[in-house]
Amino acid sequence: MHKRFSPFLTGFLSCFLSFFLALSATTGIAHATSEMTSGNSPENHAPDSLSMEKDLQNLSWPQFKSVVEAIPKLKADIEAYGAFGWQFVQSNYTRYAWKKKIDRLDENQKKLLGELIANAHKKIPAMSGSGD
């Protein structure tokens, strides 16, 4: 014999599922709408971390080091490893995934990082090589 769920339970589950789907769709739409309306103004939000990561990776070593040293949290993450930290970063900064570290910065630090990167690009053209 095949057991069947009671009509009450079936109705309750379908109602709950419908409510959950409607709620998640509404939340997703509201989130997307708020990003579209408020995310386009550069003075309100810092640049996105993926573009900042690419910009950081494209700096020369002296530019990169001066930018990172100006952001206390990034500098502390590197200096936690002592001299080896800076050696590792110098060897790998153009390939290292900085996005997670940038995501951990607060909005003011992200904004400052974006400004420092932009200023570094304006002052000295990026050079290839890894001089110190």
Q: Are 68 and 90 in contact (CB under 8 A)?
A: no
Domain ranges of the chain: 1-45, 49-123
> Which residues of the chain have a pLDDT value below 70?
1-47, 124-132
CA dist 88 → 79, 81, 85, 92, 93 (Å): 11, 9, 5, 6, 8
Please state the pTM of the whole predicted model.
Answer: 0.59
pLDDT digit string (tens) for 7-23? Answer: 655 665 465 545 554 55
